[in-house]
Amino acid sequence: MASSSNPLIIITIVVFLLINLTQVIGVENILLEEGYTVTTIIDGDKLSVNPYAVISLYGSSSSDLVILDSVKSTFYTVSFSDSQVGELKKLAGNTNGAAGYKDGDLGSAEFNKPKNFAVDKKNNIYIADKGNHVIRKISKTGVTTIAGGNIRKTGKADGPAQNASFSDDFELAFDSQRCALLISDHGNRLIRQLDLKAEDCADTSSGSVLGSTIAWSIGVVVTCLIGFVLGFAVRPYVLPYTGSFRPTSGQHDMEALPNQSGETSSDLLLRQQKRNC
Ligand SMILES: *[C@@H]1O[C@H](CO)[C@@H](O)[C@H](O)[C@H]1NC(C)=O
């Protein structure tokens, strides 16, 4: 009786040890980093919206989100005040939820099942309107087509944006440094770039422009001060060498060599600093 149950116990122990061993060896290399929290901020079922993609708008005062309901080809905005979800407002899209292609004012514009969009620093919204094979733009004044408008079918032509073509499957990302939309054109296996207008990449909030001006001024003053301090500090160490020590050709010390007017470069540095400040 006892001997028949022994193999089972041994197998159980071996399996148990193996499981523990794999964990110790780290075959499953999973690192659980703590300190993050997940919260539901919008319940699509409660608001009768089917959120497919979401992006927050730029700007310190605005905590608005743009939500795309791909099934209905419609964009919504939601504002938050004191982290309370505000009203869901239709931004642009078809009233009956059918796909279409209409530019113009926000109320009557139509899209064809877009699944992805990007937002620039002016809060213009760029839409990968896959169904219409074009790139659309929602600005304050309405909806326009900015790329593919002359072609409106799949392809991979580069060039003037209205004559460009895209695959059935592409996504957009806004790149403020390039001032461009980056297009990951999955269907063509290409990364493409659509250059935007410089005004769309400028920081809109006046506060940050003021902030950067102040930062720039402080930068100039600090640089000038450092320049003076360095100039004075370096002077006594540089000057004594000019007469008594002739550097060999292998180790030319440019700082120590007087120029034609008998002035060392640290004097020159000081003079330039005075002129700059
Ligand atoms: C772009 O397309 C339009 C309309 O098809 C055509 O008239 C024009 O010549 C094209 N431009 C270029 C640069 O290909």
Quick one: three-class SS letters along the chain?
CHHHHHHHHHHHHHHHHHHHHHHHHCCCCCCCCCCCCCCCCCCHHHHCCCEEEEEECCCCCCCCEEEEECCCCEEEEEEEECCEEEEEEEEEECCCCCCCCECECCCCCECCCCCEEEECCCCCEEEEEHHHCEEEEEECCEEEEEECCCCCCCCCCCCCHHHCCCCCCEEEEEECCCCEEEEEECCCCEEEEEECCHHHCCCCCHHHHHHHHHHHHHHHHHHHHHHHHHHHHHHHHHHHHHHHCCCCHHHCCHHHCCCCCCCCHHHHHHHHHHHHC
Distance (angstroms) between ligand 1 centre and the Cα of 150 equals 7
Q: Which of 152, 153, 158, 163 to mutate to test the pocket of ligand 1 (most atoms within 8 A of CB)?
A: 163
CATH number listed for the domain at residues 46-206: 2.120.10.30
At 40, is the pLDDT very low, low, confident or very high (cuts 50, 70, 90)?
A: very high
Q: Which of 150, 151, 152, 162 to mutate to test the pocket of ligand 1 (most atoms within 8 A of CB)?
A: 150
Domain definitions of the chain by residue range: 46-206
Q: Could you report the per-residue pLDDT of 175-225, keeping only the tens digit for each?
A: 999 999 999 999 999 999 999 999 888 876 544 444 444 455 555 555 656
Bigger pLDDT: 207 or 155?
Answer: 155
Q: Could you report the per-residue pLDDT of 116-153, keeping only the tens digit for each?
A: 999 999 999 999 999 999 999 999 999 999 999 999 99
For the CA of 159, the nearest atom of ligand 1: 13
At 256, is the pLDDT very low, low, confident or very high (cuts 50, 70, 90)?
A: very low
At 53, is the pLDDT very low, low, confident or very high (cuts 50, 70, 90)?
A: very high
Q: Is the pLDDT of residue 83 over 60?
A: yes
Of all protein residues, the one whose alpha carbon is nearest to atom 9 of ligand 1 is 163
- For the full predicted model, state whether its pTM sits above 0.95: no
